[in-house]
Amino acid sequence: MVGVGRLELPASWSQTRHATNCATPRGVSVRGYQTERKPLSGTLCLTSNSLCRTTNGLNIAVVEVANFIAVHKQHAVAKPVEAIGQDDLAFSASGGAINVDGRAHLVSVAQIDLALVRGGECVGLPERHVSIIAGKGALNANRYTPKPVKSTLEALEGNQVKLSIEVEESEFDKNIDAAFRKIAHEVRLPGFRPGKAPRRVLEARIGMDAARGQALQDAIPEYLSKAVIEHKVDIVAQPDVNLLEGQESGVVKFEATCEVRPVVQVPGYAGLRVELVNPALTEEELEEAITTERRRFGTLADVDRAAALGDNVVIDLEGLRGGEPVPGLNVDEWTYEVGRGWVAPGFDDQLTGAKKGDTLKFSAVPNGTEEEADFVVTINRVQTLEIPELSDAWVAENIADADTIEEWKTALRARYEEMRVNQMRRTVVDRVTDELEKLVEIEAPESMVNNDLQARVQNTLQQFQSQGIALDQWLSATGQDADSFIGSMKTQSEKAVKVDLALRAVALAQGITVSDDDLEAEYESIGVRVGEKTAKVRKAYEQNDAVTDLIAQMTKSQALEWLLHNITYVDQNGAVLDTNTVLGDHDHDHDHDHDGHDHD
């Protein structure tokens, strides 16, 4: 049964938690049906009104959908695949349930078949009425009540299925009643307050066609969502709906062609070999570390000669693009070490051989950009770094907690190796998912990629906005346009989708399941993160039909955990690394974004 509560709702069937203006999905399209109402363009959303406006001023068609989140939930319609990524919670970033139109939304109460004393008619019960007292309200239990809504599922070629749904005329008349009530709030009739005009009056004034059109618009997504849940259809894109009968009267029949998540196999996943940098320092690497540390104690001295690799130059730097200064490339009296390669390819080559007083003019593509810039560099001074001689006396005077060269080397090795171990552990999940992605032989479904990409772009834009960064300025500073910005993220989305499919396959192959105790522990963990009681978190997931979604997320996380502890790690020379060294003793938190894939 469907309860009454507030939903976290995606913006459309194929949309993720985040709606975005740059790629607004279309509403549910119904072929074979025309109404007198002018079609509206915009995003399909959940609200109690028939019309509302988005933040960018677009009219949007509004559809009241019973238990819509359950469609989104099981099917992770684009979650990423938060596949290993952001939490798929029924909460916003602030920890509260997301309210699409600024008000609480009451989910339509589901109809259940219940044999009652009076003829065994169908009644609606909210979720809280989960039990029927024995002997009360079930006297005619032997009477059969046909289902007012029938649905069947048919497999099609490719990753598609077809749902066929039939709604009896008596059942659909309830939707027409609801449509008249909605219309009553939109029209003004003499002698009646808004919303108070009875159906018979409205039917006489505006006719049945308008109400039936409104009912079809509202009811089809609702019946479709229930059928998706009933048949456990794992949809990953907006269904294509075709209305067959009932445009004007009688039984309503429609079909929905749905793209579903493909099921893949990842042979060889247990034998993965993931290459990581060995955290142990070689003698050569230790000597380089000592030299690096000694340079920190060096002093710069002016020299009267041409700049060479390793020298420092004090320069005035001017970078222009189209005659306008390039952000970050205009500075005076900047001390720069020749050979660092920090500015642009070929930049250091221009500096090599230059002397004090020289002015260099050349063009190059700044690092991190794609457009060429014009450089003007004035050499103010050429300097060399004078490094102190290494001795026990120097160590005792300048290095804390060490009195000799050997003591310093031992401490330095321990510090550098600890940093490399931490770096290795920060990157191990990305490296494992990189290798796992390669085992997925199919192309990532475009619909899933687009869903993940849309959420990823929206997240980035929100981060920019929170930091006060204008997108056009950022694009200009990095030498990108909108297309290259989107393209750079699409590769990440393609990986996210493949990793999502692969982790589901690993979980299935390994028989990974989530127990009731596991689920309860997760509720408790979420409660701690969002500052809510466990019972409230559990209730939110149950009321929003998001439990299956959470279980899917947990299952994929467990699959990743299994991989982390059972595959082989090797260093750059092919030597096997100890798994405990790679992972450490702590539990891994997989709620961050691994190349952006989102948990479903």
| Cα–Cα dist 290/581, whole Å | 25
Task: State which H helix or E strand residue 558 sits in.
Answer: helix 547-566
- Please give the pLDDT value at position 122: 30
- Please give the pLDDT value at position 377: 97
DSSP structure class, residue 137? S
Domains of the chain (ranges plus CATH)?
A: 299-386 (3.10.50.40), 410-583 (1.10.3120.10)
Burial class (CB in 10 A: 0-12, 13-18, 19+), 64: buried
In Å, how far are 264, 557, 560 from 444, measured between CA atoms?
11, 20, 19
- Please give the pLDDT value at position 588: 52
- Taking the complete model, does pTM exceed 0.85, yes or no? no
Q: Which residues in the chain come in under a pLDDT of 50?
A: 1-145, 591-600
Residue pair 158/261 in contact by the 8 Å Cβ criterion: no
Do β-strands 273-275 and 568-570 pair in parallel, antiparallel, or remain unpaired?
parallel
Per residue in 87-125, pLDDT tens?
Answer: 332 333 333 333 333 333 322 222 222 222 223 233 232
Q: Helix, strand, coil: what percent of the chain each, to 5?
A: 40, 15, 45
- Please give the pLDDT value at position 548: 82
- Burial string for 1-25 (b: 16+ CB within 10 Å, else e) reads ebbebbbbbbbbbbbbbbbbeeebb
Per residue in 132-159, pLDDT tens?
Answer: 223 333 333 344 445 789 999 999 998 9
